[in-house]
Chains A and B, each alone.
Chain A
Amino acid sequence: MSRTPVVSLRGVSRSFGAARALVGIDLDVHAHEVVAVVGDTGAGKSSLVGVLSGALAPDEGQVLVDGAAVSLTDPAAARALGIAAVFQDLALCANLDVVENLFLGQETVRGGLLDEVAMEKEAWRLLGGLAARVPSVRMPVAALSGAQRRSVAIARVLLGEPRVVLLDEPTASLGLTQVAEFLTLVERLRERGHAVLITSHSLSDLQAVADRIVVLRLGRTNGEFDADKASYEDLLAAMTGVPR
């Protein structure tokens, strides 16, 4: 593609002690595009999302937004550049209610005080748009089911109208119907012009929705595939390293 990618990685490496989670990763994500990053457990998927979201500083390499190198010192910096992530563990505060979690770190303020009415109204609108069923937005997140919590986490990401949405293992705890609903949601994100990056250790979930599939293996890029053309066997071979 000739367009400038919204976000790119160039030669990004990250180690945890002796363990090399990411080694010289190059990656581009464009607007109106869904990129799936697949790999076995421990391939470096969560670290990749960590670096892109500002939660994890790379040891080497660069993150580029619109072709210019940026320094993502923390998640707030990433979000200011339009990059928002739903983490695998969702990163919700269980003691806060749904509205409080949705707006955490970006609360609406009116006359110096929190504007609960505006936030609650927006919360219902967002959750309604995701067709998410939550008994009450004033319920602590601790009292919600796993799927409900995931809806809250995704709604939170959409709140700031980010250009890049990172979804780390979003389908891990979902049932079949919920996966279908989720994939529809991802398509909607692409239609709206978001650049979407999804990680998964399961191939079948994402091939239907992804434009491109990047395979990670032991921290390195081990192949990049056009989602329409790649065969299951090719992908599996790249993921496991076993020659066909």
Chain B
Amino acid sequence: MTGPTPLVTAQDPGSRSAQLRRRLATGDLGSLPVVVVLVVVWVVFQALSPTFLSADNLVNLVQQSAATGVIALGVVLTLLLGQIDLSVGAVSGMAAATVAVGSVRLGWPLWLAVLVALAAGALVGLLYGAVHTRLRVPSFVFTLAGLLVVTGLQLRVLGAQGSVNLPFQAWLVRFCQTAFLDPALSWAIAGAVVVLYGAARLRDRARRVAAELSAPSLGSVGLRVGALAVLLAVTIAYLGTDRGVGAMFALFVGLVALTDLALRRTRWGRSVRAVGGDAEAARRAGVPVRRVLVSAFVACSTLAALGGVLAAGRLAAANQATGAPEVALTAIAAAVIGGTSMYGGRGSAWSALLGILVIQSVSTGLTLLNQDQAVRLVVTGLVLGVAVVVDGLQRRARES
């Protein structure tokens, strides 16, 4: 054996730009394009409205994006499998109604109501998974059926009044509305994340060197760790000039990071991408395809329910409009705008965060400019349209 080194050809610097163009065309650049879009959106709105990038507005913006962002995270999981769950909005609405009615009207302890809501979400996902894997019905259709059924259940749970308020002193409401991480805690978490990330990178590099595999230079490791440190520090410091990092937003980012780890570094995550890329090939490679599909549907519905619980907490109420169709559409749009392909097998947990930030930024920016919902819907729709077209073009580029 000659070893890996001679087979890996050094990058020809002359072809760098051509290579970049190819990676851009095929979508191999990952999250970079959507980060660029987000920066452009921020710069444009800041130019039009000087308060857009104020700490106060950004704190509101990220808090506002958390609930739907959690739903979008679930949507990413189904999209990665080449499936879709159209009922995530309805499930979130039902979860919100369950929490409000359970804790206020039925007098359950709040934690129990939250648990029941999440369990109901998981049950819906289990049903979807069973229907899809046993009967092979396209998820597009039966989750649409589920949307109607679950919306009906939501209305029935809410009862004749159609709206239930949560008391403002409830921990869920305080967590979603007024809980911000103590600055010391924010910095401690950020410090721990940077140290752990850096240590993991360095250990990984050391093992690669020991195994005689191509390893990143110490400089590039340092650059990555440094970039993460700067990003976290700037975010915490800037949001800290206002109220700080919202607990709900921190929970959302934490969930995204955990999901990202699960998708990239566990057997389950590998199976998800394999099934999304080619279910039959994955099956023949010994991947338990049915179990993977069911697990993703369950995770999606449970995250949708959690998003609904957070939405109820943020609004301090659950009503018939909680989880309206717009919520599901926004969550799905966020996942796609964030860079997760509709065709399965490609995408990242971070696309939920980036996508929802783009949508929420557009929405908040237009509100600051005194534009009404009509304009917001049109602009968001156009952004989604562009994202879907780009996704389709990248797929064609990969296949050619």
A residues with a Cβ closer than 8 A to B are 53, 55, 74-76, 79, 85, 87, 90-96, 100-101, 104-107, 109, 112-114, 116-118, 120-121, 124-125, 128-129, 133-137, 140, 142, 156
Question: Do the beta carbons of A135 and B7 come within 8 Å of each other?
Answer: yes
**Chain B residues near A140 (CB-CB < 8 A):** 28
The answer to whether B7 touches A113 (Cβ under 8 A) is: no
Q: Given the complex, which residues of A lie within 8 Å of B276, measured CB to CB?
A: 95
Closest to B288 in A: A76
Given A107-B267, A114-B270, residue A55 in contact with residue B284 (CB < 8 A)? yes
Beta-carbon contact of A95 and B204 below 8 Å:
no
Q: Which residue of A lies closest to B212 (CB)?
A: A121
Are A91 and B284 neighbours in the complex by a CB distance under 8 Å?
A: yes
The listed residue (B8, B282, B284) touching A87 by CB distance below 8 A is B284
Q: Which of B276-307 contact A (CB under 8 A)?
A: 276-278, 280-288
Interface size of B by CB at 8 A reads: 38
With A87-B284, A124-B213: A95-B345 Cβ-Cβ less than 8 Å: yes
State whether B213 touches A120 (Cβ < 8 A).
yes
Q: How many A-B residue pairs have CB under 8 A?
A: 105
Query: Is the CB–CB distance between B1 and A94 below 8 Å?
Result: no
Is there contact, CB below 8 Å, between B273 and A96?
yes
Complex Cα–Cα for A142 and B213 (A): 23
Chain B nearest Cβ from A149, distance in angstroms: 11
Question: How far, in whole Å, are A162 and B204 apart by their CA atoms in the complex?
Answer: 31
Residues on B with C-beta less than 8 A from A128 are 1-3
Cβ-defined contact, A93 with B211, below 8 A: no
Is B284 in contact with A113, judged by CB distance below 8 angstroms? no
User: Is B346 interfacial (CB 8 A cutoff)?
Assistant: yes
Question: A74 and B286 in contact (CB under 8 A), knowing A93-B345, A107-B267?
Answer: yes
- Scan residues 119-178 of chain B and give those whose CB is less than 8 A from a CB of chain A: none
Could you tell me if B7 and A93 are in contact, using CB atoms closer than 8 angstroms?
A: no
Nearest chain-B residue to A105 (Cβ)? B286
Question: Is B287 a contact of A104 with CB atoms below 8 Å?
Answer: yes
**A95 in complex: contacting residue of B8, B285, B346, CB < 8 Å:** B346
Contact A142 B398 (CB under 8 A): yes
| B208 close to chain A: CB less than 8 A | yes
Would you list 5 pairs from A and B whose C-beta atoms are within 8 A, ordered by A residue?
A55-B283, A75-B286, A85-B284, A96-B270, A128-B1
Q: Which of B89-136 contact A (CB under 8 A)?
A: none
Tell whether, in the assembled complex, residue B277 and residue A93 are in contact, meaning their CB atoms are under 8 Å apart.
yes
Residues of B within 8 A of A113 (CB): 261, 265-266
Q: A95-B277, A134-B7 are in contact. Are A117 and B213 (CB under 8 A)?
A: yes
Contacts A96-B270, A100-B273 aside, 10 further interface pairs with beta carbons under 8 A come to: A55-B284, A76-B286, A91-B281, A92-B281, A93-B282, A93-B285, A95-B345, A96-B277, A118-B211, A142-B399
Q: Which of A74, A117, A134 has the most CB of B within 10 A?
A: A117
Cβ–Cβ < 8 Å partners of A93 in chain B: 273-274, 277-278, 281-282, 285, 345
Given contacts A112-B266, A117-B211, A117-B213, contact A133 B7 (CB under 8 A): yes
Per-residue CB contact flags for chain B residues 195-221 toward chain A (1 = under 8 Å, else 0) read 000000000100110011100000000
CB distance from B235 to the nearest CB of A (A): 27
Contact at A100–B285, with CB atoms within 8 Å? no
> How far, in whole Å, are A153 and B204 apart by their CA atoms in the complex?
27
B4 near A: Cβ within 8 Å? yes
Complex CA gap A142/B285 in Å reads: 17
Q: Is B9 an interface residue (CB 8 A)?
A: yes
**A134 (CB) vs chain B CBs: closest residue:** B7
A114–B278 alpha-carbon span in the complex (Å): 21
Which residues of chain B (256-274) have a CB below 8 Å from chain A? 261, 265-267, 270-271, 273-274
Q: Are B284 and A53 in contact (CB under 8 A)?
A: yes
A106–B286 CB distance below 8 A:
yes
* Shortest beta-carbon distance from A93 to chain B in Å: 4
In the complex, A92→B3 CA distance in Å?
Answer: 24
Q: Which residues of A contact B284 (CB under 8 A)?
A: 53, 55, 75, 85, 87, 91
**Docked pose: A137 CA to B7 CA in angstroms:** 10
In chain B, residues 303-352, which have Cβ atoms closer than 8 Å to a Cβ of chain A? 345-346
* Residues in B neighbouring A142, C-beta threshold 8 A: 398-399
Contact B286 A94 (CB under 8 A): no
How far apart are the CA atoms of A128 and B212 in the complex, in Å? 14
- Chain B residue, CB-CB nearest to A160: B286
Chain B residue nearest to A136 in the complex (CB)? B8
Whole-angstrom distance from the CB of A52 to the nearest CB of chain B?
13
- B8: A residues at CB distance < 8 A: 135-136
Q: CA A137 – CA B8 in complex, angstroms?
A: 9
The closest CB in chain B to the CB of A89 belongs to B281
Q: Answer whether A96 and B207 are a contact pair too, CB < 8 Å, given A104-B287, A121-B213.
A: no
A113 vs B207: C-alpha distance when bound (angstroms):
15
Instruction: Tell me the bound Cα distance from A225 to B381 in angstroms.
Output: 67
A53 to B222, CA, bound (A): 47
B274 and chain A: residue at smallest CB distance? A93
A107 to B270 Cα, complex, angstroms: 9
In this complex, what residue of A is CB-closest to B275?
A: A93
Chain A residues positioned under 8 Å from B398 (CB to CB): 142
In the complex, what's the smallest C-beta–C-beta distance from B209 to chain A, in angstroms? Answer: 10
Q: Which residues of B contact A105 (CB under 8 A)?
A: 271, 282, 285-287
- Complex-state Cα separation, A43 to B358, whole angstroms: 56
